[in-house]
Amino acid sequence: MLTSKRVSVLAFMLTAVLLFGTAGCAPATPPSPATPDSECDLLRAELAKANAELEKLKAQLESARAEITTAKAASLEDLLRHRRSVRDYADAPLTRDEVMKLLWAAQGITRAWGGRTAPSAGALYPLELYVAVGNVVDLSPGVYKYHPRENKLTLVKEGDVRTALALASLGQRSVADGAIDIVIAAVYERTMVKYGARGERYVHIEVGHAAQNICLQAVALGLGLVTIGAFQDSAVAKIIGMSPDEAPLYVIPVGRLE
């Protein structure tokens, strides 16, 4: 486990090595006689790499701190008491681990036969989860699909679609500002093939179960989110790259608290 102490020590070591390592390099031209140009370039590249690594560690540290803070107050009653719609977020990245925990809360597999975190009429599981990634330390911007069975993501399309999603959500700023947007879709047919017209109601009930799980997981992780229902269905489906049998039901921007 990554502790605050370990991150601080790593950060210190990285800084020390790179400070001493690049000491013989001139900051700009003309080149220092002490160290040849190519060696300096190499060290500068190393420094840039180490800085990127440091940023990752900082984000992990922030997330570890948030977990420590919320772990103290993690009874179900506390999570329910603290849940609130949050529409403004800090400009800070989430970690891949946090993203996976949010998605698992919604539809994660909890039994060998396929039972999930949220109930489903007839265990038919009509929901599909996507995540539009914008600012996550170890996930490049793009749209990903969540696969509950393997608890993994696959890339649907590359590139940051948060602004496009915000426009499709009647210009709601929270959708562009969240580090990610979770989009919950449904394949109605999976449930309606058994339950007929009543299956539509069941699908809508189920999306509520899944979204509430995400809400409570976000509180547990010290993150903010808002559940958004006001958007143009066809535009959201197109931006995300859904298959024709999938209909979007919820857009959920998530970000770090300010």
Report the interface residues with ligand FMN, using CB under 6 A.
Answer: 84-85, 87, 172, 226-230
Closer to ligand FMN by Cβ: residue 126 or 142: 126
Rounded to a whole number of angstroms, the minimum distance from the CB of residue 229 to ligand FMN is 3
- Rounded CA-CA distance 137/146 in Å is 18
Rounded to a whole number of angstroms, the minimum distance from the CB of residue 250 to ligand FMN is 7
For tokens 């036969």, the residue is 113
User: In the chain, which ranges are continuous DSSP H helix?
Assistant: 4-21, 37-71, 76-82, 96-107, 162-168, 173-177, 188-195, 198-221, 233-240
Residue, CB closest to ligand FMN: 229
Closer to ligand FMN by Cβ: residue 180 or 226: 226
Residue 34 burial class via C-beta count within 10 angstroms: exposed 0-12, middle 13-18, buried 19 and up: exposed
- Distance from the Cα of residue 91 to its chain's centroid: 14
Closer to ligand FMN by Cβ: residue 49 or 84: 84
Rg (CA), the chain: 22
Closer to ligand FMN by Cβ: residue 84 or 152: 84
Rounded to a whole number of angstroms, the minimum distance from the CB of residue 126 to ligand FMN is 17
CB 60 within 8 A of CB 137: yes
Closer to ligand FMN by Cβ: residue 146 or 250: 250
- Rounded CA-CA distance 19/26 in Å is 13
Structure tokens at 79: 């999570």
Rounded to a whole number of angstroms, the minimum distance from the CB of residue 175 to ligand FMN is 9
Rounded to a whole number of angstroms, the minimum distance from the CB of residue 249 to ligand FMN is 9
